Structure 1
Amino acid sequence: MTTPASIQRKIIHVDMDCFYAAVEMRDQPELANVPLAVGGMRSGRGVLTTCNYIARQYGIRSAMPTHKAMQLCPDLVLVPPRMAAYQDASQQVQAIFHDYADAIEPLSLDEAYLDVTSSQACRGSATLIAEQIRQDIFDKTGLTASAGVAPVKFLAKIASDLNKPNGLFVIKPEQVSEFIETLALEKISGVGKVSIEKLHHQGLYTGGDIRRAERDKLKQIFGKFGEMLWMRCQGVDERAVSNDRQRKSVAVERTFAQDEGDQGILVERLMALLPELQRRSEKHLKQAKMNKLGVKVKFADFQQTTKEQQCQQIDETTLLELFNEALARGKGKAVRLIGLHIGLAPEQQNQSPQLILPF
């Protein structure tokens, strides 16, 4: 759908609040006022899927090892995930989105982008649409959602996190420049631990710092990432809201019940993952070409490394070479997790450049 050049895009990012935990609290009201986490059973190498906001007050977070979470909060209540219940709630939420937007881009079960530029609902106000969507979600599912409204995608996503839980934050087009000026760079999607350290080393901490930096210098130092970051901090994000997202990789991994240091056993376990990777890859390789093969190793101290190589097919010899190189980085440390993955080359399409439209 092409938007007329006289109209500014209106993007909403909706993010459910502690989604899995919220479904559990809704279905089991006795859990509503206790520190709660989903996943990560006490025995073995459990990892939390998510937790409620009471648990977060103890410093607990998603993807935290269970044993660490229990140290922070001995009274933490753990429940196993119920994917069928979460998928059912997600389908109800997605149905609500279709009442207000034609262009919807789901990111996961609990979040999505909506382009409501042309929506006539709520007198065409993106702010009112976001409020109504949140109300509909609560009325129909008993769950709360937070939302961000902005003229571009990356700002809408940042905004949805600013008034959590059960909140709304709006960045109007005339507020974009002021908002970005003091925006911490780590808030921008794609800026991780490694890149933020490099940015800080260059004296770059906020969006305003990037705005005033030389574009060519950023590109020289950081490559395409530097170019992307400079554009974002000018308020430019040309990505359209699209439900035609292409998978970029397929992966499989396993966490061991006990750390393993025997290289022969590790190789056997790695090769045992191959059939599952091939099974998961089969349907995707009918639509895209493989362009990369890689392995992942997480050591007993939770340090993690990945080794990849350009490759057009799953080759066992190449895989073993990559695995041995990854293991060597641990300098003899035992291993708690191994994984392998393939990269998928995106389909080449001729696309006209999109305009960043005025309000």
Structure 2
Amino acid sequence: MESSGNGTEAPAYGQCHPTFNDDFKCDIIFWIRCAVAILSMLACTFVVFIILIFKKYKFLHQRLILYLSIAAFFQSLGYAVSDYRIAFQGRNGGEGFCIFVGIWTLFFDWFSFLWVCCITFNIFWNAVFGKRTEKFEKFYFVVCIGVPAILCCLPFIENSYGPSGLWCWIKSSSFDERSDTVKVFIPGVILQFVLFYGPLWIISVILLIVLISIACLTRHRRNKYQGVCNHQVDAQKKLWEEDIRPLVLFPWIYLVILLFPLMNRLRLAFGFFDPDSPANFWFWFSHAFMLTLHGTLYALVFACDKTTRSRITYHQIKAALLQRTMRRRKIKEYPLVSSTEVGGSLSSIVVSDDLTEDGINGTSGSYKLYLGSH
């Protein structure tokens, strides 16, 4: 037991009170969250690596996957470093890093979600209008960077960054030093739903309607044009295979993942909370586990693509790496020291002193002699 501020005895709660009264539960959730976040970071690194070495970034739909993977990498990095001990250092005045992690998390949560929105818009434009969307790429960047930057500034109005359950974000509780108690921070709870969960789920419902409409439209077109051969139908089939099909699962993954943190935050907002109940632990566990799993799921969907899967072999990756690291072939022409006439023309030596770009099995230092006129 510890003495509280008014001289009465208070229970000796752990560092993660009031979320749990037992720090061991916090440790389990933190290490699960950290491990899954690191796994997602590795998975995102794999996606970026494959896209770069095989030059898949030449196509817009692959660049969108690249941007989403980079966003998910930094999102997972914020999850990995946000320890609940750091989150509760604010009670002792050491909340600077917690505020930084809160800003980082809010920015990259929105950054990642907006790339999902751009992917959905890209699918919609391709499927409904049958047109490519390269002209929108700059607009995608403006939205995905500008909107999170603005939203991250708003919590400073109420000084709302800080502990939010087991990690740093928009704080949901505040510590009253006079009564030595933790109270619900109403402005922070409101901001969580106004700046994140509210618009996120309104947009998510719109995305869900759009995705279902695209699926219905695509099925209708397939049934309508089944067995029909003309240029327009062939072009639509090619557009589906190249630009739509590789992207269609990414928005669905994000929507399913969002269900778990939303249920947990709604439960807390309506007061259904008992630190010692098993349900409280499993709500937080599912929240932490699913929210950090997105990068891994993106990589699995990316690797399941037929074209990508056929290239993810040891020999293909090795050949691509060698091709990217070797210098391009250079043909150099040198005049002979002595002016020897060959058929009335001055002979010359053409030396190839570099390996060709695709000459993976070539031998360094090989030379070829050609005779030709100047």
TM class by smaller structure? under 0.3
Per residue, is there more helix in 1 or in 2? 2
TM-score (norm 1): 0.25
Please state which structure has a larger fraction of its residues in strand.
Answer: 1
Structure whose CA Rg is larger: 2
Q: Give the TM-score taking structure 2 as reference length.
A: 0.24
